[in-house]
Structure 1
Amino acid sequence: MPAESIYPPVEIPNVGIFEFLFNRPQASVQPDQEIFVDAQTGRSYTYSQLKQTAIEFGQGLKGLWDWQKGDVLGLFTPNSIDYPPIVWGTHFAGGIVSPANPAYTVDELVHQLKDSGAKALLTQLAVLDVAKQAAKKAGIPEDRIALLGDDRDPEHRFKHFTSIKDNNLEAARSPRPVKINGDKDLAFLVYSSGTTGLPKGVMLSHKNIVANVLQITAGEPELESSDTILSFLPFFHIYGLTCILHQAVWRGFKCVVMSKFTIEDWCRHVQEHRITFSYVVPPVVLLLSKHPCVSDFDLSSLRMMNSGAAPLTQEIVHALHERTGLKVKQGYGLSETSPTTHMQRWKDWKTHIGSVGAMMPNMTAKFMSEEEKELPVGQTGELWIKGPNIFQGYLNNPEGTKNALTSDGFFKTGDVGYLDKHGNFFITDRVKELIKYKGFQVPPAQLEGLLASHEKIDDVAVLGVYRDDLASEVPLAYVVPTKGATPGPQLEKEIVDWLASKVANYKRLRGGVKFTNEIPKSASGKILRRLLKAKYQEEAKKGPKAKL
């Protein structure tokens, strides 16, 4: 029988996100309560300012761009406190938000804009050039590109989102948000890479997000509206989008927002703002356990941290606590699950290190064998999960949806693990071939396709290898050089630099290049990565490789 959550069920209303966050009776958040604060400038939004700005932006969308229910707004921007009201203003107008990684190249952004059918694009001045080029290729006119953040276009060609917000045409005025069916209407199209290459549009409904916010609330009852959280996780990523953006408003946290991360800035903000909680990722935990600057700051206000997006090892947890006294627990989730499905309880942070914790309320799960037979407690298999936070499918990809979702509603996560007798889940490996670099998904096939076009590469295979110093998996390429090309450090650097110019930063070959005479393949032509991994492990025993 599938495992049930240890938590009692929570009631999940079938409403839109705007109504859920802002039109609730007996809201626990006070109107003048500060919710989002810019870590650098101190600019902020109170709860009532958020609501009003979102309403005005939604009204402006309908008046300026003839916004219709179901239209898609692309967001291509680093973190900003303007991000939340733009998201919820789009929802007010009945639209769907598709957030994109601001590190994307032009062609990577073009794919998302075209696939999502984005009608307009919001961006920041720092990445405007990429946004302009991508919008042109995707067929989005320049007058549907607008800016957010503190910087304005010096040439006055691109309006600021406040111009849209202030575009209160009489025809656009509406005191109420567009009516939403929470169970069916989409709120977000987030993009998750697949092993076949191009990212897939994950369709998340309003109810998916509402459900996950309530599930997280039940899983972390220790957090209170008096807590101050530090946000450096990108809002375009589902981890930051749900766990920080939506949860902050729902529970009334003060959220200090960093536009970019450095360990020195993170520590300084914890000290200056007396941060009590932070969502983090394993590489940050590693930095806190090793970086010399950490000793220069007072981090004692932190009651707990929660690490997600990638596995966190026992050694790093111990090293952090021994050096600083800080506590960190772990959670688990995916873009397809909105994202959180499991979370360690605060009391278990030290006694169950390695576990991703207990399953969220209103969910069931089972571990399946390769033959898709359910396995008993303690046996390792692929995790399948079911609940109100499971996505609606992949956009324009019925085959991918069919392969991911069963007829009775279970999502095949592609992750391997087991359940212990105490209800703790452990994730030990992945079925999928995706490389996970600091929480970002890197599809090997996409990198292989690019590398194969290099004039000095005959054949190539990309796999993920672990780097202790980064506390993360990184891409490494096995390359068969063309005849006449000389394998060695010079060619390796040429290949690494060449690929770096064509992909987002997180997709770079941080594992480097290894030269080989042949890429092992099956009779059907599939790359046998397990043989390459074994080869890499054997080579690694012979001596360390210089880090890139």
Structure 2
Amino acid sequence: MPTESTYPKLAIPDVDLWTFLFERKDRAYPDYKVIYVDADTNRSYTYAQVRSTALDFGTGLKSVWEWKKGDVLAIYSPNCIDTPAIIWGTQWAGGILSPANPGYTADELAFQLKDSGAKGLVTQKPFLKSAIEACKKVGIDEDRIILMGDERDETMKFKHFSHVRNLAGTSRYRKTKINPSRDLAFLVYSSGTTGHPKGVMLSHTNIVSNVSMLVTGEGKNLSWKGGINNEGDKLLAFLPFFHIYGLTCLIHQAMHAGLTLICMSKFDLAKFCEHIQTHSITFAYVVPPVILQLGKNPIVSKYDLSSIRMMNSGAAPLTKELVETVYNRLKIPIKQGYGLSETSPTTHTQPWETWRTYIGSVGRLLPNQTAKYMSPEEKEVPAGETGELWLKGPNIFLGYLNNPEGTKNALTEDGYFKTGDVGHQDKEGNFYITDRVKELIKYKGFQVPPAELEGILISHPDINDVAVIGIEDHEQATEVPRAYVVPKKGVKGGKETEKRIVEWLGQKVASHKRLRGGVRFVDAVPKSVSGKILRRVLKEMAMEEKKGAKAKL
């Protein structure tokens, strides 16, 4: 039998995100509560300032750009405290947000802009060159590129988002009516094994339900008031806002609960520790490579991290050894959670009080969901046995944009999402994720599709055939991409050729897709009769190589 959540069922409000956040009757914290703070400059937004800025931007979109319901606005930027107001202003105007990785090349950004049908782009000044190039490729006019953040364009050619407002003053614009369960709030892009990212369609109800579910998982432990100066809990935000983990768990949860979010534009270990000490951070969402550095890097000892009450790790499994190493060194408890872009994202989290009892578990199933583990033959397996995790609930996405085949393969007729992740549950209701059905490589929480890299590498003049797999890098506590290359006749497969290939690819893809696992030269890429790459064989080769290297030590 499928497993139902053991938490009490929630009444999910049938409203859009603007109504959920800004027209609610149960908000406990005041208008002047500071919600978003820039970690470096201390520039900030209160609840009231976010609302008024969003409203100005939303009316401006309708007035200046004649924004229509369903129009897509893309954001191409590192973390910025302007992002929330832009998100909710766009949604007030009936729009959909599609955040893009600021590490994308112009070609990678152009794909997302074209696939999503974006009508405009918000970026920051240092990213203008790639933004302009990408927009030119897909036919977005330059006057539809606007800036966010502290830097302005001195040429005045590109407006700051705060200047996109209804200057007439007399025209009245109303909030666009939204069907919460059908109308999209976000189009986030999740890499697929086909070589191109897939647009994950998330409705307003998907996000509203997941924020409500997070209240059950974290709510009683995170508060808007209390602590040293009665400022309440403070969360440190370095996880990217272009990813659903950052969008829901950081941006939306902070606004809903009245928590203070200290925003870092990107991760840097020394700054991470410094901000915890300076701002008295009490909680942080992290990923395993950060946990690894907290356990081993000597720089951490220079800072006082004692204000942290708990960390939550997601994106990849954590070992018991790593959790205990950090706890023994810093006395910081670390619990785990689980989720995917397609689930808005959080489906499981460990209760704070049992973080140490069930290390290795991703926790309990959050409210309003049903789960089951399925065999390769799609038969349900009993508790304790391994299978692929299938999930059902109000947080499950509506499908992949422009990809009916992908949607059909991911969603069953009765509403289950096939996660592609393998694991089991124990008799106490704790869930474990042990492996992936999917071939995606997860580098520090980023998804790297092997087929995409193979498609680019095959065009290299020195390569006859190629396959890419993820190999475990224990020093970084993450997978890294490695290419197995059949060189062209006459090309010597050595260090020089490897360096040439790695550097060549590095110029064509975002940083997280680089061949950090290097290149291995082979006589042939193992394939099935139908021509499918047998990555399992390559992984076995990598394991043998690793054993051989250890034996020589």
Q: Work out the CA distance in 1 between the residues paired with 2:338 and 2:246.
A: 13
**Corresponding residue number in structure 2 for 1:146:** 146
* 1:489 to 2:487 alignment: no
Q: Work out the CA distance in 2 between the residues paired with 1:128 and 1:395.
A: 27
> Pick from 481, 484, 500: which aligns with 1:475?
481
Q: Work out the CA distance in 1 between the residues paired with 2:138 and 2:442.
A: 28
1:184-216, Cα deviation, whole Å (9 max, x unpaired): 110000000111110000000000000000001
**Corresponding residue number in structure 2 for 1:164:** 164
Please list, as runs of the form range in 1=range in 2, the aligned pairs for 1:41-190 lying within 5 A after superposition: 41-165=41-165, 167-170=166-169, 173-174=172-173, 176-190=174-188
1:173 Cα deviation after fit? 3.2
Contact 1:59 1:168 in 2 (8 A): no
Q: TM-score, normalised by structure 2?
A: 0.97
1:170 Cα deviation after fit? 3.9
Q: Work out the CA distance in 1 between the residues paired with 2:484 and 2:178.
A: 50
**Corresponding residue number in structure 2 for 1:201:** 199
**Corresponding residue number in structure 2 for 1:258:** 264
1:116-169, Cα deviation, whole Å (9 max, x unpaired): 00000000001110000001111100000000000001211100001103x333
1:171 Cα deviation after fit? 6.3
Q: Work out the CA distance in 2 between the residues paired with 1:312 and 1:213.
A: 24
2:500 is aligned with what amino acid? E
Q: Work out the CA distance in 2 between the residues paired with 1:171 and 1:407.
A: 50
2:130 is aligned with what amino acid? V
SS in 1 for 2:245: helix
SS in 2 for 1:121: strand
Q: Work out the CA distance in 1 between the residues paired with 2:541 and 2:267.
A: 35
Contact 1:18 1:177 in 2 (8 A): no
Q: Work out the CA distance in 2 between the residues paired with 1:170 and 1:362.
A: 44
**Corresponding residue number in structure 2 for 1:223:** 222
1:243 is aligned with what amino acid? C
**Corresponding residue number in structure 1 for 2:227:** none
Contact 1:215 1:360 in 2 (8 A): yes
1:177 Cα deviation after fit? 2.2
Contact 1:227 1:277 in 2 (8 A): yes
1:418-477, Cα deviation, whole Å (9 max, x unpaired): 010000000000001000111111000000011111000111100011101111011011
Contact 1:209 1:338 in 2 (8 A): yes
Please list, as runs of the form range in 1=range in 2, the aligned pairs for 1:393-432 lying within 5 A after superposition: 393-432=399-438
Q: Work out the CA distance in 1 between the residues paired with 2:550 and 2:244.
A: 35
1:224 Cα deviation after fit? 1.1
2:79 is aligned with what amino acid? N
Where structure 1 has 5 or more consecutive residues not aligned to the other structure, the ranges are none
Contact 1:231 1:256 in 2 (8 A): yes
Q: TM-score, normalised by structure 1?
A: 0.98
Q: Work out the CA distance in 2 between the residues paired with 1:172 and 1:234.
A: 37
SS in 2 for 1:543: helix
2:210 is aligned with what amino acid? N
Please list, as runs of the form range in 1=range in 2, the aligned pairs for 1:113-512 lying within 5 A after superposition: 113-165=113-165, 167-170=166-169, 173-174=172-173, 176-220=174-218, 221-225=220-224, 226-512=232-518
Q: Work out the CA distance in 2 between the residues paired with 1:458 and 1:102.
A: 32
2:406 is aligned with what amino acid? G
1:544 Cα deviation after fit? 6.1
Q: Work out the CA distance in 1 between the residues paired with 2:545 and 2:170.
A: 68
1:172 Cα deviation after fit? 5.0
Contact 1:358 1:425 in 2 (8 A): yes
SS in 1 for 2:549: coil
**Corresponding residue number in structure 1 for 2:229:** none
Number of equivalenced pairs = 543
1:454-506, Cα deviation, whole Å (9 max, x unpaired): 00011110001110111101101111111111111111111111100000000
Q: Work out the CA distance in 2 between the residues paired with 1:118 and 1:486.
A: 45
Q: Work out the CA distance in 2 between the residues paired with 1:426 and 1:172.
A: 55
**CA RMSD in angstroms, aligned pairs only:** 1.0
- Over 2 Å off, 4+ runs: 167-174
SS in 2 for 1:45: strand
1:29 Cα deviation after fit? 2.2
